[in-house]
Amino acid sequence: MRTIDSFLITYAALAFTSVITLSLTGVETLDVYIALFAILFFVAAELTPLSPMGSRKKVILETALVAIFVVTVAERVVQVLR
């Protein structure tokens, strides 16, 4: 199996497991899910490293997900501080 396929399967398993777990624990805020999706990308990338050929695209996706994570967390911090 190609590394990209292993990565996608790992990420999908982690993402869907987290959605089921969070929904069972009664989490109703979307930003928690989104922040977790961003974190899980890095977890999946560590578990099944992408080939060097896919690394450039991976960096772009990582940057986008970090930005989403920062915005989500910052929004929540602002809400708490108000």
Partner 1 sequence: MDRHLSLGIFLLVFGGITTTVSLFIGVTPTLALGLATLLIGIMTLYLPEPTESLAERLASDSSVPALLNIENLLDDLSLNEKGVYIPAAGLEVCPKVFVPLSQTRLSRRPPRDLNNSRRVFITLDEKTREGGILLEAPGRNLLSELELYLRLDFAKVDVNDLHEKLESGLKLLEVSKSIALERQTDQTLTFQTELTAFGNLEVKLSNLTPHVFDQIGGPVSSAIAAAVSKSTGEYVAFRQVSINPTDKKITATIEFVR
Binding site for partner 1 (CB under 8 A): 2-4, 7-8, 11-12, 15-16, 19, 22-23, 27-30, 33-34, 37, 50-54, 57-58, 61
Q: Choose among 20, 11, 74, 56: nearest CA to 38.
A: 11
Q: How far is the CB of 60 from partner 1 (least distance, A)?
A: 8
Task: State which residue, 28 or 80, has the beta carbon closest to partner 1.
Answer: 28
Q: How far is the CB of 77 from partner 1 (least distance, A)?
A: 21
Residues across the chain: 82
Other Cβ atoms closer than 10 A to 78? 9
Reduced to 3 states (helix: H, G, I; strand: E, B; else coil), residue 73 is helix
